[in-house]
Amino acid sequence: MTSTELAVAVLLVVGIAGIVVPVIPGMLLIVGGILLWAVDLNTTTGWIVFAVATTFLVLGTVVKYVLPGRRLKAAGVPRSTLVIAGLAGFVGFFVIPVVGLFIGFVLGMYAAERNRLGAEAAGPATRTALKAVGLSILIELAAAVLAFATWVVGVLVTG
């Protein structure tokens, strides 16, 4: 394994971790890592691997917004609730580093839904929204794993 391949592998692993813990720009690290490898390799195979991996990531990004968005719309959760939850997650990140992002998001979601629907309906609405957010993360993670696998195949083919 070359030093470039090792650096790219680290970038990809950190990128995948960044998808699960949304503090690190995971998708950008993955695209950047594979681009670094393709530039270093500078072969047709390298550029094909980069194109296929990037396609997986772009499709994953589109689907991660479309599919959960449809579920939220069908459940009647407004965009304003997600904005409030996102802002609360951002504040939570600084109050309780890393873990506060998730705690703030959930509390913000619940508070917005409680304000909008009342105490009784806030729990089910919050669970529906959280399931949609979880689905979004899983879709992004699947796209990242496919991009990673594409890169591994490229390394094996060119090695």
As averages over each run of 10 residues, the pLDDT of the chain (159 residues) reads 92 92 85 96 96 96 86 81 88 83 86 91 84 87 96 93
Report the 10 Å Cβ neighbour count for 110: 21
The owner of tokens 């009784």 is: 120
Give me the pLDDT at residue 102, please.
78
User: Considering only CA atoms, which of 81, 63, 67, 56 is closest in space to residue 143?
Assistant: 56
E-strand stretches of 33-131: none
Tallying the residues shown for the chain, one arrives at 159
Question: What global pTM score does this model have?
Answer: 0.80
- The answer to whether 152 and 34 are in contact (CB under 8 A) is no
Q: What angle do CA 29, 34, 38 make, to 5 degrees?
A: 145
Q: Please state, in angstroms and as integers, the Cα–Cα distance from residue 138 to each residue in 4, 76, 135, following that order.
A: 28, 22, 5
Q: What is the pLDDT of residue 48?
A: 97
pLDDT reported for residue 98:
65
Q: Per the structure block, which two tokens stand in for 118?
A: 């009342």
How far apart are alpha carbons 138 and 97 in whole angstroms?
A: 23
